Structures are given as structure tokens and as C-alpha cells.
């Protein structure tokens, strides 16, 4: 059995009606084959979209094969007990060249009943934002189901949806049930439950190259939706350098931002989980057991659970999302 090491995977590119060119131009993904590349799946255990190792002794091995072979050494004992041989998180980069559809995702209970799958709670880290860009998350005022349906029928959802102007390094937590859309001009990293279930509510009446509108899921969305109003939708966090800033702590994942321009060590001896590093800015060297790998903007690395300490050495000031199962 080959020894485990921090694993980088081949990107799985997704053409989308709202996609653009930034995944290639900014992140260096092989997205030149289309002007509509909307997503790069960096780490995926979704059936039919299983990530494959791109370099090192395990190059060419799929994530599912590695989980089968290494089990808790890769995932952690606690994660294996909870999820078996399913990888529990999906990591993406998303380029919204146009607004995504207004949508919602089901929670675990509803997803299990309808799709024999898991729900979709997610978080966004925005790292390149065009001027005047905005997004939608949640409702702008308290309302009930009947009021929502009235606005849906009159195509006046903009009157009840919470739209936020955004800038680089903004963070949003999107629990299952929260209505949302990523707006035009935003490039972001998304960390979410392993699920690809989306209910579209409104798609701006646009059509694809064949003149077809995309399917809507109005009835399914109604049961999934959280109609509550919340006073704060954007995540506040410490943005000073050389600090770890907690961003999200939920039952499905924890995410911190590491922003360093000096060498630091991360100790995972009290953590029974794999760790994911998503480099959203700069570059760094990850050292362990007298070995190292270099990460740059756009790289995502899976740190196996058996690696309990790494040293992070900046090649330039870096910002990295650190994700794990608590």
C-alpha cells in the first residue's frame, strides 16, 4: 500500500448557461474549450463525478478507490462511522458571468425522502468581484407561504428577496432551505455537503442555445423553503493577517480562513477528520514528514486524517480555506 500524502485532484469542469472565462483566465483551469465554463469541481465524491488524483504516486486513482483502500487513514474514524465510504464534502469554484437561477436546496430529511440522498448546506467565499456585483440570500422581510406565492405569480420576487452588494473576501453561509442566487460578476469558492440537488424557482426566462428554458421546481421548492427573515446574512470575521479566522461551524463542516505571511504550524492531533485546503489567494508550501507540496491560487488539497501536523510556509501572503468535519 502506497503512503498517503496531501492529494490534489484533476478539476471536473461544468459548462453552464451563466458561466464565463474566469476559471481559465484567473485560476488557470483548462476551461478554454468553452466560453460558458461555470464550475470547476475540485474535490468530489458525487456519483458520476468522482475526483481523480492528478499528481504523485497515487496519480490516476479515484477518490472512491482511495476511500475503499485507506478508509479511516484518509477520512478519520469518526467520519467513516458517520458517512461510510461516501466522501461528505464537495468543493467547487464558481464563475457567475450572469446571475444564477434563484434557487433553494432541501435539507437532509427532505432529500432522503425524495431523492434517497443528502441535503445541501453550503458556504461561499468570494475572492474576485466585479464592481457593483451583488447576490441574493434569504428574504428581506418576514413573510408567509401565501405572500411568497403571490410575488412568485406576479414575477415580483425582487420585492421580497434580500440582495447584498458584495466585495472580495465576503463570506456567506447558506443553510438548506435558504433562497439564494450568486450574482453576475462573482468568482467564489463553495464548500458544501455532497449533494447536487437544486430546486430552481426563477431563471429570468432565459433560454439555452436550442431555445429551451431550464426546468423549474416550484412545488418541490415550496416544501424546502425557509420563510423566516434574519437580521444578518453576511458572515462577520477577523480579517487581520497572521491569524486563523473561524468562518463556519455547522453539523456538516467547519471552515476557517488562514491568512498568513509568516510560517505557521497546524496541529490536527485532536481532530478525527481529513482536512481540506482551498487556496484562494497567494501561494504556500505545505510541509509534513520532511516532504512538501506547493499550493497556489486555485489549488485544493486533501490532507489525509493520518497526517497530524503540517507546517505552512508562505511563498507569498496567502489566504486558504481550511475545512474539516468536527
pLDDT cut 90: percent of the chain above it: 95
Pairing status of strand 161-165 against strand 102-104: unpaired
Per-residue pLDDT, 205 = 87
Residue 13, CA atoms < 13 Å, CB-side half-sphere: 19
C-alpha cell at 307: 497526517
- The pLDDT-based confidence of 31 (bands split at 50, 70, 90) is confident
Query: Mapping DSSP to helix (H, G, I), strand (E, B) and coil, where does residue 158 land?
Result: helix
Active site residue 163: no
Query: Mapping DSSP to helix (H, G, I), strand (E, B) and coil, where does residue 82 land?
Result: helix
Indicate whether 26 pLDDT > 80.
yes
C-alpha cell at 110: 427532505
Say if CB 8 and CB 300 are below 8 A apart.
yes
What is the 8-class DSSP label of residue 56? Answer: S
38 contact partners, CB below 8 Å, separation of at least 6: 14, 15, 16, 17, 18, 19, 20, 94, 95, 96, 97
pTM (two decimals): 0.96
pLDDT tens profile 275-304? 999 999 999 999 999 999 999 999 999 999
Per-residue pLDDT, 229 = 96
> What domains appear along the chain, each with residue ranges and CATH number?
7-224 (2.60.120.10), 243-324 (2.60.120.10)
The catalytic residue among 200, 206, 214, 287 is 200
Say if CB 202 and CB 96 are below 8 A apart.
no
Mean pLDDT of the chain: 96
pLDDT tens profile 82-135? 999 999 999 999 999 999 999 999 999 999 999 999 999 999 999 999 999 999
Considering Cα of 150, then 148, then 104, then 224, what sign does the dihedral take? negative
C-alpha cell at 189: 469558492
Nearest C-alpha neighbor of 63 from the set 302, 310, 321, 254: 302
H-helix segments, 202-264: 218-224
pLDDT tens profile 45-73? 999 999 999 999 999 999 999 999 999 99
pLDDT tens profile 188-231? 999 999 999 999 999 998 888 788 999 999 999 999 999 999 99
Amino acid at each position: 500500500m502506497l503512503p498517503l500524502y496531501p492529494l490534489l485532484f484533476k478539476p471536473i469542469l461544468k459548462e453552464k448557461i451563466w458561466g464565463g472565462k474566469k476559471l481559465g483566465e484567473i485560476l488557470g483551469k483548462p476551461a478554454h474549450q468553452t466560453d460558458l465554463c461555470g464550475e470547476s469541481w475540485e474535490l468530489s465524491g458525487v456519483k458520476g463525478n468522482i475526483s481523480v488524483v492528478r499528481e504523485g504516486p497515487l496519480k490516476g486513482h479515484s477518490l472512491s478507490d482511495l476511500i475503499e483502500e485507506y478508509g479511516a487513514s484518509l477520512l478519520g474514524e469518526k467520519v467513516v462511522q458517520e458517512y461510510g465510504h461516501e466522501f461528505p464534502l464537495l468543493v467547487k469554484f464558481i464563475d457567475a458571468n450572469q446571475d444564477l437561477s434563484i434557487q433553494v436546496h432541501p435539507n437532509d430529511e427532505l432529500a432522503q425522502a425524495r431523492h434517497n440522498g443528502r441535503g445541501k448546506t453550503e458556504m461561499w467565499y468570494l475572492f474576485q468581484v466585479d464592481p457593483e456585483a451583488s447576490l441574493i440570500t434569504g428574504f428581506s422581510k418576514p413573510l408567509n407561504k401565501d405572500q411568497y406565492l403571490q410575488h412568485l405569480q406576479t414575477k415580483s420576487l425582487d420585492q421580497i428577496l434580500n440582495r447584498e452588494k458584495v466585495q472580495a473576501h465576503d463570506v456567506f453561509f447558506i443553510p438548506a432551505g435558504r433562497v439564494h442566487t450568486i450574482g453576475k460578476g462573482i468568482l467564489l469558492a463553495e464548500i458544501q455537503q455532497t449533494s447536487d440537488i437544486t430546486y430552481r424557482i426563477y431563471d429570468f426566462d432565459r433560454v439555452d442555445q436550442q431555445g429551451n428554458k431550464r426546468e423549474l421546481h416550484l412545488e418541490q421548492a415550496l416544501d424546502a423553503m425557509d420563510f423566516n427573515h434574519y437580521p444578518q446574512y453576511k458572515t462577520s470575521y477577523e480579517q487581520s493577517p497572521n491569524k486563523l479566522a473561524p468562518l463556519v461551524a455547522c453539523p456538516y463542516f467547519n471552515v476557517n480562513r488562514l491568512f498568513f505571511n509568516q510560517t505557521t504550524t497546524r496541529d490536527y492531533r485532536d481532530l478525527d477528520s481529513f482536512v481540506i485546503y482551498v487556496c484562494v489567494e497567494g501561494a504556500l508550501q505545505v510541509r509534513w514528514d520532511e516532504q512538501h507540496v506547493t499550493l497556489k491560487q486555485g489549488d485544493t488539497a486533501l490532507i489525509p486524517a493520518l497526517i497530524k501536523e503540517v507546517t505552512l510556509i508562505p511563498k507569498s501572503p496567502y489566504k486558504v480555506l481550511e475545512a474539516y468535519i468536527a
